[in-house]
Amino acid sequence: MDEKTKILLSEENLPAFWYNIVADLPAPPPPALHPATGKPIAPSDLAVLFPPALIDQEVSVQRDIPIPEEVRALYRLWRPTPLYRAWRWEKALQTPARIYYKYEGVSPAGSHKPNTAVAQAFYNRQAGVRRLTTETGAGQWGSALALACNFFGLECQVFMVRVSYDQKPYRRGLMETYGAEVVASPSLRTQAGQQVLAKDPNCQGSLGIAISEAVEVAAADPNTNYALGSVLNHVLLHQTVIGLEALEQMSIVGDEPDIVVACTGGGSNFAGIAFPYLGRMLRGGRTVEVRAVEPAACPSLTKGRYTYDFGDTAHRTPLLKMHTLGSSFVPPGIHAGGLRYHGMAPLVSHVLALNLIQAEAVPQLDAFAAGVEFARAEGIVPAPEANHAIAGARRAALQCREEGRSRAILFNLCGHGHFDMQAYIDYAAGRLQNFDYPEEEIAMALAALPAVAGD
Amino acid sequence: MDEKTKILLSEENLPAFWYNIVADLPAPPPPALHPATGKPIAPSDLAVLFPPALIDQEVSVQRDIPIPEEVRALYRLWRPTPLYRAWRWEKALQTPARIYYKYEGVSPAGSHKPNTAVAQAFYNRQAGVRRLTTETGAGQWGSALALACNFFGLECQVFMVRVSYDQKPYRRGLMETYGAEVVASPSLRTQAGQQVLAKDPNCQGSLGIAISEAVEVAAADPNTNYALGSVLNHVLLHQTVIGLEALEQMSIVGDEPDIVVACTGGGSNFAGIAFPYLGRMLRGGRTVEVRAVEPAACPSLTKGRYTYDFGDTAHRTPLLKMHTLGSSFVPPGIHAGGLRYHGMAPLVSHVLALNLIQAEAVPQLDAFAAGVEFARAEGIVPAPEANHAIAGARRAALQCREEGRSRAILFNLCGHGHFDMQAYIDYAAGRLQNFDYPEEEIAMALAALPAVAGD
């Protein structure tokens, strides 16, 4: 076995295709439904928001979907990303496990998000769209889309949740440096925003409101489309470059993961690393244990109901079958903003329902403890979201120690934490807490779910 | 010629030796002098601050100095760093020049500084030292040393200039995450700090004061040594891994730089990329034009005097022969904190005096304009310091366009700007300025220089 720290791929080995897991699943995922009719939506229902190529990908059953050369050329600015062997962390954990991590923090925006942002901007540009609009919480997705729009000469408008807009100016600065327009949400630009502000002029905003604003703008302007950073099939598809590269890199090392771990918020970085491994298993290849790690304060996979729900709080999206805590549930203010989502990608929910993956939840303080331990061993300070994957990998490694088994663990380190140092400062000062499991709020939100035929 | 975007080296090609330019220079650099006697200092004069191995390196005339295996093992966490071809920026500039950049922002601390921090921590650990103390301005050096000390189980104490300590908590958070103790300077921990605070209890601090505090602590405690992030010969030596890798990578591409560009503050990232190329030329190899780019507000190479001066404001260091604006000169508050130094590394000053390199100055607004243009073309948002190198490379590229010459330009992108977004926000808002050349202050500071025999 190789003794390298970083396993690199050259650009010639950048994947030429994305991997679509739908082609290999034993059962197709349940379709999205139109909220008015309760019937499956037609691809044309999405045309007001997305370009034809992305709608095709959303419903495709083709296994390998070619990555356009223009997208691959931009991927080359940071891809293939390195795969690391965590020699120093293994030693710190005194585990016989072999731990590997794929590091997506080397992208210009510092996370995996540009993998799909660049693809979405390309297809929109191709369709003659002039502007993309989106929402962002802490700003990881917004900065990725700002970067991508800039590359393709598209205007970019980002509705940023007001509380983050005021408290996290650095990510906003990054978006503006890439030329994007950043609007604090709720805003007066949309009816959705105006309605909220009429009731509460000091409203701090939420991801749900910001989505409603972005969707409203895109629906009203034929030159403007909407872009989403997770959840949808085409977004998960674009992220599979992560796992496809990892397959190649592990084979260079001459090792294979027994366990694959990633954090889950909307599900895209998880699908990115896990789906290519699941696909290989589904096609009769090597068995792999896949673990999704979510925050205990927002436990859609471990405590949610698998049912039809809206993707947003304002109920403007189609109904998606997913593990959900109820679209009216507002998750507690954990620092891993990217994991604060009431639902889960329908494809990730589907593979959980098929028992192809496992899910576990990690409290905030455990995630940060694991992240700090990892940073001291490996140097890289992870994003708070990634700390959940690290905590999951740590559990698996300690299990190996208890059992005296040397298994191989691969996890996705989806981003660096250089924009999130306030969270680390708060953690060190004892100002972070574990939220009690919000049982009552979730029960209420689940009770408020829409009744859907065929549920 | 290769058409890759990133030219990668595998870990087997990590340099095994640092390159010491002193071995190839036509004249030896002038020695450091003891301020009391005006005589060259003896290596033993430094023993209170530095371990024997680093003192040996400081005065070594050996060309190739082996990199300890323990240091190479840690370098592998981020090295070899990628070399990029700036295809998209070349196109934006409409230049026939071929532009390459070495990217040091992939280190865990986000800059080139860990190249020397890891080496310094190793040698101190080897010598039985238990703690390192240092100063930091904005925190780039402090965070690199915190990372390195953590790797070797050394305690780390960082005197951080008070104004940055209060205004830039993110870098402080990074240092503390790595386990370092960060002390706002001036502090009550030292006599130097106490004296300053007695006169001005609200003093915002300066790099000069912070150096005095760190040196005082190290001199008083046999278990504590001092570490410096630039200027000294051994620091520049450690950074030559940058240029040594670049030599290898350019030869993989089948191209050679005609012009090498880097920014200069204390001189270490500049020396890191330039010295291996200068050395090849000095040994009869390919001719190369080397350009040092400094801020117009702190122009030690272009406007300073080449003479003996103190390295710090409080006059506790040996006298170094260097291009200096006078050790009592306090540079204007430009955002490129790493370039706000009154002097220059003696070795960089020496090669300028030998006419082996050229120097040029760039106003702050030009540096940021170049940095934003670069970020939009290449994706990476550079550190404000690196923007000076980018502005220098841009000048060279536009010169090529005017002359219709396709020359190859290589510059060092010494760090990313994710910790520096406030500077970009201020730039975008029109709140940054070009400082008038501080002619009078510099004249006063130069007039106050110590009189030294043999100057």
Q: Cβ separation of A76 and B419 shorter than 8 Å?
A: no
User: How many angstroms separate the CA of residue B182 from the nearest CA in chain A?
Assistant: 12
Which residue among B78, B179, B379 sits closest to A77, beta carbon to beta carbon? B379
pLDDT band at A455 (very low <50, low <70, confident <90, very high): low
Structure tokens at B233: 């010969």
Q: Cβ separation of B375 and A178 shorter than 8 Å?
A: yes
What type of residue is A64?
D
pLDDT at B392: 98
Q: Which of B14, B418, B420, B422 to mutate to test the interface with A (most CBs of A within 10 A)?
A: B418
pLDDT at B163: 86
**Residue B306 pLDDT exceeds 90:** yes
Q: Cβ separation of B173 and A375 shorter than 8 Å?
A: no
What is the DSSP code string of A359-408?
Answer: EEEE-HHHHHHHHHHHHHHHS--B-HHHHHHHHHHHHHHHHHHHHT---E
pLDDT tens figures, B346-367: 999 999 999 999 999 999 999 9
pLDDT tens figures, B246-258: 999 999 999 999 9
Q: Cβ separation of A376 and B4 shorter than 8 Å?
A: no
- Continuous segment of H or E residues that includes residue B149: helix B140-152
Q: Cβ separation of A418 and B419 shorter than 8 Å?
A: yes
pLDDT band at A163 (very low <50, low <70, confident <90, very high): confident
DSSP A203: -
Q: Which of A75, A380, A418 to mutate to test the interface with B (most CBs of B within 10 A)?
A: A418
Residue with tokens 């966490």: B77
CB B66 within 8 A of CB B322: no
pLDDT at B238: 98
pLDDT band at B382 (very low <50, low <70, confident <90, very high): very high
Average pLDDT over residues B163-190: 94
Q: Cβ separation of B6 and A4 shorter than 8 Å?
A: no
pLDDT band at B206 (very low <50, low <70, confident <90, very high): confident
Q: For residue A200, give Cα distances in angstroms to A195, B195, B225, B362.
A: 9, 53, 58, 49
User: How many angstroms separate the CA of residue A374 from the nearest CA in chain B?
Assistant: 10
Residue B431, chain A, CB below 8 Å: the answer is no
pLDDT tens figures, A369-423: 999 999 999 999 999 999 999 999 999 999 999 999 999 999 999 999 999 999 9
Q: Cβ separation of B179 and A376 shorter than 8 Å?
A: yes
Average pLDDT over residues B390-409: 98
Partners of B11 on chain A (C-beta within 8 Å) are 4-6
Q: Cβ separation of A150 and B376 shorter than 8 Å?
A: yes
Residue A376, chain B, CB below 8 Å: the answer is yes
Q: Which 92-131 residues of chain B touch chain A by CB within 8 A?
A: 106-110
ipTM of the complex: 0.96
Helical axes A364-378 vs A421-428, angle rounded to 10°: 110
Q: Which of A77, A252, A335, A368 to mutate to test the interface with B (most CBs of B within 10 A)?
A: A77
pLDDT at A206: 84
**Residue B2 pLDDT exceeds 80:** no
DSSP B28: P
Nearest to A326 by CA among A445, A207, A447, A211: A445
Neighbour count for residue B94 (Cβ, 10 Å): 9
pLDDT at B137: 84
Cα–Cα distance, B32 to B54 (Å, whole number): 15
- DSSP reduced 3-state for B55: helix
Partners of B378 on chain A (C-beta within 8 Å) are 77, 108
Buried b (16+ CB within 10 A) or exposed e, A305-341: bbbbbbbbbbebbbbbbbbbbbbbbbbbebbbbbbbb
Beta bridge partners of B31: none
Q: What is the pLDDT of chain A when averaged over all its residues?
A: 95
Residue B406, chain A, CB below 8 Å: the answer is no
Q: Cβ separation of A5 and B73 shorter than 8 Å?
A: yes
Average pLDDT over residues B120-148: 96
Q: Cβ separation of A421 and B174 shorter than 8 Å?
A: yes
Q: Which of B2, B3, B5 to mutate to test the interface with A (most CBs of A within 10 A)?
A: B5
Q: Which of A85, A140, A421, A426 to mutate to test the interface with B (most CBs of B within 10 A)?
A: A421
pLDDT at B455: 52
CB A271 within 8 A of CB A409: no
pLDDT at A450: 82
Contact partners, residue B455, CB within 8 Å, separation at least 6: B307, B308, B321
Among chain B residues, the shortest Cα distance to A84 is held by: B77
Average pLDDT over residues B125-150: 96
CB B78 within 8 A of CB B104: no
**Residue B8 pLDDT exceeds 90:** yes
Q: Cβ separation of A174 and B421 shorter than 8 Å?
A: yes
User: How many angstroms separate the CA of residue A169 from the nearest CA in chain B?
Assistant: 8
Q: Cβ separation of A428 and B177 shorter than 8 Å?
A: yes
pLDDT band at A160 (very low <50, low <70, confident <90, very high): very high
Q: Cβ separation of A178 and B73 shorter than 8 Å?
A: no
**Residue A453 pLDDT exceeds 60:** no
Contact partners, residue B227, CB within 8 Å, separation at least 6: B117, B120, B121, B124, B132, B133, B134, B145
Among chain B residues, the shortest Cα distance to A118 is held by: B379
Residue A373, chain B, CB below 8 Å: the answer is no
Nearest to B412 by CA among B288, B205, B264, B311: B264
Beta strand B131-136 with B64-66 is unpaired
pTM: 0.97
pLDDT above 70 covers a percentage of chain A that reads: 99
Q: What is the pLDDT of chain B when averaged over all its residues?
A: 95
Residue ranges per structural domain of chain A: 6-13+68-110+236-446
Q: Cβ separation of A418 and B174 shorter than 8 Å?
A: yes
pLDDT above 90 covers a percentage of chain A that reads: 85
pLDDT band at B153 (very low <50, low <70, confident <90, very high): very high
Q: Cβ separation of A176 and B418 shorter than 8 Å?
A: no
Q: Cβ separation of A8 and B4 shorter than 8 Å?
A: no
Partners of B78 on chain A (C-beta within 8 Å) are 379
pLDDT at A3: 85
Number of Cβ pairs < 8 A linking chain A and chain B? 124
CB B388 within 8 A of CB B293: yes
Q: Which 207-266 residues of chain B touch chain A by CB within 8 A?
A: none
What type of residue is B37?
T
pLDDT tens figures, A6-58: 999 999 999 999 999 999 999 999 999 998 899 999 999 999 999 999 999 99
CATH code for the structural domain at A6-13+68-110+236-446: 3.40.50.1100
Q: Which of A70, A152, A177 to mutate to test the interface with B (most CBs of B within 10 A)?
A: A177
